[in-house]
Amino acid sequence: MHIIGNGFLARNLRPIADRHPDTVVLAAGVSWASGTSADDFARERDLLAGTARQCAADGRRLVFFSTSSAGFYGPLDRPAREDVQVTPVTPYGAHKLAQEELLRASGADHLILRLSHLVGPAQPDHQLLPSLVRQLREEDTVRVHRGATRDLIGVADVVHAIDGLLGLGLRGVTVNVASGISSPVGEIVDHLRYRLGSSARTEYVDVGHVHPHTISVEKLHALLPACAVLGFGGGYHRRLLDAYVARPQLVTA
């Protein structure tokens, strides 16, 4: 595969770069869910449009990483499936939906993977886990939106899933790549506090009604039954947190 980008996910994909020679993986662009920069969004839109045109001309498949976050799917009273109506509630979510639509209309063979929150060594320090660890180590208070949840998945498990999905030869398909476990952010903070021996306290902030967000992984498991036995389930997110605390290797890029 040809990997475009040199960030966190791109680096983790390099060990399988010699596989899937007909595939271009776009692992570059906006990776900050709270980002709202119109310039950054425009650069990613131009990069995707140009890459899709080239892939359509070359007959190669293009993999695009979208998001399965609550900001993308919007409020739902059931697990977020790939076939539900998407109603983004953040600029980042709206941008990712527009990117998906651009790719589907481009004529390029493609695979859209809606990722949850990746966890692994050497993450950019603005992402969830590095940010929480830094606050617990350096600040007196960690602020958490009341009712907020996150689906955490190890980057090694994501790479395993990507490799398997590409091996199926999928075209024109959208798949959630997540653990399927909705972990309260307050519990994530509590576990990190214990592991770090931090004395920082948690301050819960009310930001209006926050809908618990669960991501459906039925499609992922149907396509890749092996994903169902990767260890997702009780204790999975705590094992990820323990491994992260043991070897965070924070970076700033």
pLDDT tens per residue across span 48-86: 999 999 999 999 999 999 999 999 999 888 999 999 999
Nearest alpha carbon to residue 143 among 192, 195, 185? 185
List phi, psi (to 5°) of 232: -65, 145
* Cβ 28 vs Cβ 4: under 8 Å: yes
CA dist., res. 141 & res. 109, Å (int): 47
pLDDT band at 207 (very low <50, low <70, confident <90, very high): confident
pLDDT at 31 (0 to 100): 60
Nearest alpha carbon to residue 77 among 219, 212, 220? 212
HSE (CB half, 13 Å, CA atoms) of 84?
19
Nearest alpha carbon to residue 48 among 113, 2, 96, 93? 96
Nearest alpha carbon to residue 158 among 50, 58, 10? 10
CA dist., res. 132 & res. 126, Å (int): 9
More confident residue, 156 or 33: 156
pLDDT band at 253 (very low <50, low <70, confident <90, very high): very low
pLDDT tens per residue across span 126-157: 888 999 999 999 999 999 888 889 999 999 99
CA dist., res. 212 & res. 150, Å (int): 9
pLDDT at 38 (0 to 100): 84
pLDDT at 187 (0 to 100): 94
pLDDT at 36 (0 to 100): 64
CA distances in angstroms from 201 to 127, 138, 143, listed in the order given: 20, 12, 9
Residue 162 pLDDT greater than 90, yes or no: yes
pLDDT at 249 (0 to 100): 58
Diameter over CA atoms, the chain: 57
Residue type, position 64, single letter: F
* Cβ 35 vs Cβ 54: under 8 Å: no
pLDDT at 32 (0 to 100): 60
Residue 174 pLDDT greater than 90, yes or no: yes
List phi, psi (to 5°) of 175: -135, 130
List phi, psi (to 5°) of 26: -90, 95
Residue 34 pLDDT greater than 70, yes or no: no
Residue type, position 217, single letter: V
Domains in the chain and their CATH numbers?
Answer: 2-246 (3.40.50.720)
pLDDT tens per residue across span 80-112: 999 999 999 999 999 999 999 999 999 999 999
pLDDT tens per residue across span 222-231: 999 987 766 6
Q: Which of 28-37, 47-56, 121-130 has the lowest mean pLDDT?
A: 28-37
More confident residue, 211 or 107: 107
